[in-house]
Chain A
Amino acid sequence: MAGPTIDALGQFSLTTGLGPLGRAGHFTNSNETMLASAVIIVGLFALGLRRHALVPGRLQSLVEILYEFVRNMCVDTIGEEGLRFFPLVFTIFSFILLGNLLGLFPYFFAFTSHIAVTLALSLFVFIFSTGVGFYTHGFRFFKFFVPAGVPVWLLPLLVPIEIISYLSRPVSLSVRLFANMTAGHVMWEVFAGFMLLLTASFGIYGAFASVVPLGLNVALAALELLVAGLQAYVFAILTCLYLHDAVHMH
């Protein structure tokens, strides 16, 4: 059949970026957006902190608000020990937030919609927090899988459940972010494709009818903006929660 088709998944396919140099180093289009996110974050700090103003301007305020937001999240969730992990949580949060937000713009690759990316991030968080647990408590960290105040005969049932739930953390953490971002972008693409299909099939009437998917996409844009912020927050707060478990074991 001739005419346009909806290619909702083409937007996720990886190519190489940054020209021939990038091709030689296998630098992907996804990494281009990652680089843009990192540059924007660093640029925000550089511009916002040009003057260490007592009364902050707009950019300095933005940087300070971001700083205090993540810092409070760390301290509230992990406790005072959380300040040690603050730079790490900040890096992860700002990177995912910028990735989600940039992914909403045309020509920017939504790298958080790649399971490989989110899985790598959550596996790092999982392995790191487990490492923190063993570093803090030694082998007593295994007690984390033995719920307190439970009759002994229930333990053979509960300990495997605890272990499975612990091991499923990186899966849920990565799939949540990946699925949210993928679903949003697929829906956008599908509704945009509808407009082309309608116009191709029904001519001028179809073009008028395209107002409906266009309106849906506008509404979806607002939702995606919310999801972008929310999922970055969820990822960061769950990272804090896992670190809390590692530090406090309960």
Chain B
Amino acid sequence: MRRISTAILLALAPSAALAEGTMPQMDFANPLTSYQVLWMAVILVVLYLLLSRWGLPQVGKVLENRSAVIARDLAAARAAKLEADKAVAQLNATITQARGTAQAEVAKAVATAKADATATAAALAAKLDAKLAESEAQIAATKAAALAAIKPVAAEAASSILLKLTGSLPAEDKLATRVNDALAARKAA
């Protein structure tokens, strides 16, 4: 029985508690209910004045200062980047210019060397040509001399052969003509 009544009490406890007495919040007859509002007004006015005059402007200043510093640093960084970009561009231009100059120089040197080589080769060729012509002339002269020398030897050999074979000497001019003919025929063959 005791248990059951306790269980019922447990189940009903919240509503029982609320029904037991009136809520202190609704006790407007209590002067303290009004006084707490009065004191709250005093506390809130002081809090408002402290916050609006002293606390909040300070925070605002701190935040403003921070955003100003950040903006300044960003601007400085941006300027530095711009300068760096400019320097890089200048460097690139200088490199390009230097490369162009160097290439021109190289081309000039190559052209000069080529011209020199051509001139040297031409001079050499002329010298060689002259030497060749000289040698050819010498050969031709030597040949002509040899050919001229061979005729009397051949005529003499032919007259001595004929003397041995016939016992008589042939006519000088006839022999010369025949030798000439034979030499010409050999040359043609």
Contact = CB atoms under 8 A, between A and B. Distances in A.
Contacts of A95: 44, 47
Contact of B30 (A14, A90, A186): A14
Contact of A182 (B13, B14, B25): B25
B36 interface: yes
Nearest to B63: A64
Contacts of B55: 42, 45, 49
Contacts, number: 151
Nearest to A99: B40
Given A54-B65, A54-B69, A120 B37 contact: yes
B36 A114 contact: yes
Interface string B55-70: 1101111110110010
Given A64-B59, A90-B51, A30 B36 contact: yes
A94 B31 CA distance: 27
Contacts of A54: 65-66, 69
Interface stretch (A33-41, A152-160, A161-169): A33-41
A28 B6 contact: no
Contact of A197 (B13, B25, B52): B13
A31 B56 CA distance: 24
Majority SS at the chain A contact face: helix
B interface, over-half SS: helix
Interface stretch (A2-10, A130-138, A143-151, A222-230): A2-10
Interface of A: 5-10, 12-16, 25-28, 30-31, 34-35, 38, 41-42, 45, 49, 52-54, 56, 60, 63-64, 67-68, 86-88, 90-91, 94-95, 111, 113-117, 120, 178, 182, 186-187, 189-190, 193-194, 197-198, 201-202
